[in-house]
Amino acid sequence: MAKKLGKKARKFAHKNLQSVAKRNRKLRSQFVRRPRRGSNGQVNELPGDADERMPQRANDSVMNDGEVASLVDGLEFPEDEIELNSDISDSDGYLSEDPDCLYYSDSEGSNVINDCVVQDGLDGHNDEMNIEIKKQKKKLKKLLDKDPEFGNFLEKWQSELESYRSTEDSDEEDMDCNDIDSNDKNPPNDKILTRTTINEWCQLVAKEPKAPSLRSLLNAYRDACRFGVHSRSPSVQRIQSTEVFYHIISFVLSEADNIFRALLEIPDNVNKGKIMNLRSSKKWQTIEPLIKSYLQNSLGLLNQLTDNQILAFVLTRLRASAVLFSAYPSTSRRLLKILIHLWASGDHNLSLSSFLMIREVASLLPECLDLCLNKSYNTYIATSKLVNDRNIKHIDFLMDCLVELYSLDVQKSCERATSSIGQLNAILRQASKTKVKEDLRKIDNWQYINCVNLWVRFLCCNYKDYNLHPLLPSVVQIIRGVAHLFPGTHYIPMRLRLVQMLNELSSCSQMFFPIPSLLFDCLEFRDTSQAEQGQKIKVNFSSLLKVPKNLLKSRHFHEECVLSSIDILSTHFAQWSYHVSFPEVATIPLILLKRLHEQTTIESLRRSVKRLLDQVYEHKIFVERKREGVSFSPNDKTSVESFVQDLQAEKSSGKVVFSTVLRSSAKKIGR
């Protein structure tokens, strides 16, 4: 009765209470994860690799759960959480097996148990428990001996308990969703899988893909994938050796794609349309359940695994079959969610392989692109909330990945870019209007800056190939506006970042930006004498937006300011180095640099400033000399252009002028 009621209620909830369902799902995913993380605490002897990774993962998910919700400025795109679970609904991918398929008993049977006893931290605990159980059982037996009537009583109670629990269980299980399913209902195949069995199957399948043992093998794969999900599931009994486990997984992962392709008789470069066409064919009907089982269980495996390397391996293998996901939209959606989560995680290799998979899926399945863009963007925004020395590279990588994704379909991405830039602009305007602390804080954070940076990079990558003119002015306005809103030495790192973006934009659009005006206060001489005695604190501008007060007067900060701005300035110079008016471009910055050179007491600064000065001077004279030889006037555009090209040709290799400076200062900055 209770069960029925529960089902009804669930149906109702599913229909009418989407948000509840959503929350349930969220909770569940936490549930599924937590125990494993918890277990990690007990298992102290876990391989170091996994240990290292755990905290980071935990970090990530905590951030996703908690902070995404509290995003201040709503930079995120709205996500459509509603999902159709139709095609993975009821079946769990269990395949009925061909009775012909033989099970072999393992020859080295007795060893089986032993070989799985790797250094398992739980074992000690388990042993203790075993002893305890024995002790208690003995006690119970004594009692039973003493009072045989108690036996009856106990039996009665046990049967009662059983029935009670079973109802409760099924309730729980149903609640427990589609992931961990009710395989109790299927005729469970609890024959133990031995190594020889698996070996035999593998050989059979390798020889002849159509062999019935494929089914059994996939079933075994299924059990391996959900191994440990449920303590009472038969999989635990079925797989008793690590060897077997490893074999099943590695064989299926590495061969499945080939097998399916052979079965479906499709070539390597098949696209989604063809798969859809195949769906009606008879061949598909027979093989479809196998594919479905494989894909679903692989997803389950992804959810289960905690080790970066294995995950990366699974992803690489799975990428080959990406096209198969096109037949199952909601499975692929689930896949994307997992992938994006993995993508944002700290490990570079894993991140990269998940990104490649995402890109593969996104380009193969256009209908997933939206989800993909939204989700990955939001994840990026959430991840980039905190930037420190360690994760700069990662965030940079994420940004590049995102640009890749957004470049897949520029038309679609442009709409997103437009709306996002509009948001950024609105926040900026609000802040500049009110100048309230809260509003300013919406800009003075990494999310905002990283978001601007993302669009700048997107523009840069696609400016040449697409008509992105309308976006440029607003992006430039945002950059200038932010730089204007946050004057003062505190914000030099942030400003330098913005100026760098301007440089990027300038080089992609071939427009002139008066970069020096934003760098002047970095090039001013500052008296830093009193900081000499202070401890040397490393200032890394790339992971800072605002410099802490105690560093403001430090020598190191000053050095860093000058070097970074020299860096940016030389990029600016390099861009216009062959223009007729290069001498004029350099005039005012040169005056400042000269003054700085005269005044500064810091030897390292003096040297790098001097180097830049010399080079610019030299080049300036060069251009001036060339200029004297020409006869066209400034309003002759074509001649001006050709002048640039002539000079470039003459100086052979493009923009090498200030590269030495760039490299040397880059070394110092550690970029």
Restricting to residues 84-123, name those near other proteins by CB under 8 A: 116-118, 120-123
One of 56, 167, 170, 363 touching other proteins (CB under 8 A): 363
Q: Which stretch binds other proteins (CB under 8 A): 57-65, 155-163, 259-267, 322-330?
A: 155-163
Integer CA distances (angstroms), 148 to 144, 153, 160, in order = 5, 9, 19
**Shortest distance in whole angstroms from residue 94 CB to other proteins:** 19
One of 27, 62, 84, 511 touching other proteins (CB under 8 A): 511
Distance from C-alpha of 253 to C-alpha of 37, rounded to nearest angstrom: 25
Token pair recorded at residue 450? 């990283």
Q: Which residue, 186 or 306, is less far from other proteins as judged by CB?
A: 306
Distance from C-alpha of 45 to C-alpha of 543, rounded to nearest angstrom: 35
Residues 632-671 that bind other proteins (CB under 8 A): 632-635, 637, 640
**Shortest distance in whole angstroms from residue 376 CB to other proteins:** 14
Q: Which residue, 251 or 446, is less far from other proteins as judged by CB?
A: 251
Q: Which residue, 265 or 628, is less far from other proteins as judged by CB?
A: 628
Distance from C-alpha of 10 to C-alpha of 4, rounded to nearest angstrom: 10
Token pair recorded at residue 164? 């009670």
Q: Which of 494, 496, 501, 500 is nearest to 475 (CA)?
A: 501
Q: Is 514 in the site for other proteins (CB under 8 A)?
A: yes
Distance from C-alpha of 622 to C-alpha of 583, rounded to nearest angstrom: 9
One of 268, 465, 549, 625 touching other proteins (CB under 8 A): 465
Biggest alpha carbon distance in the chain? 120
Distance from C-alpha of 99 to C-alpha of 104, rounded to nearest angstrom: 13
Distance from C-alpha of 634 to C-alpha of 581, rounded to nearest angstrom: 9
Residues 414-433 that bind other proteins (CB under 8 A): 414-415, 417-418, 421-422, 425-426, 428-429, 432-433
Residue in the block written with tokens 């039996």: 155
Count Cβ atoms below 10 Å from residue 446 Cβ, excluding itself.
20
Q: Which residue, 165 or 185, is less far from other proteins as judged by CB?
A: 165
**Shortest distance in whole angstroms from residue 135 CB to other proteins:** 9
Distance from C-alpha of 467 to C-alpha of 370, rounded to nearest angstrom: 22
- Give the DSSP H/E element, type plus range, for residue 479: helix 471-485
Distance from C-alpha of 37 to C-alpha of 306, rounded to nearest angstrom: 9
In angstroms, how far is CA 606 from the centroid of its own chain? 43
Count Cβ atoms below 10 Å from residue 143 Cβ, excluding itself.
12
Q: Which residue, 211 or 361, is less far from other proteins as judged by CB?
A: 361
Q: Which residue, 467 or 604, is less far from other proteins as judged by CB?
A: 467
Q: Which stretch binds other proteins (CB under 8 A): 82-90, 381-389, 539-547, 572-580?
A: 572-580
One of 198, 204, 214, 249 touching other proteins (CB under 8 A): 249
Q: Is 190 in the site for other proteins (CB under 8 A)?
A: no
Q: Which residue, 356 or 452, is less far from other proteins as judged by CB?
A: 356
One of 439, 545, 589, 658 touching other proteins (CB under 8 A): 589
Residues 300-329 that bind other proteins (CB under 8 A): 304-307, 309-310, 312-313, 316
* DSSP three-state, residue 610: helix
Residue in the block written with tokens 């003075």: 444
One of 452, 518, 657, 662 touching other proteins (CB under 8 A): 518
Distance from C-alpha of 188 to C-alpha of 648, rounded to nearest angstrom: 75
One of 580, 616, 647, 661 touching other proteins (CB under 8 A): 580
One of 231, 533, 638, 652 touching other proteins (CB under 8 A): 231
Q: Which stretch binds other proteins (CB under 8 A): 66-74, 173-181, 184-192, 509-517?
A: 509-517
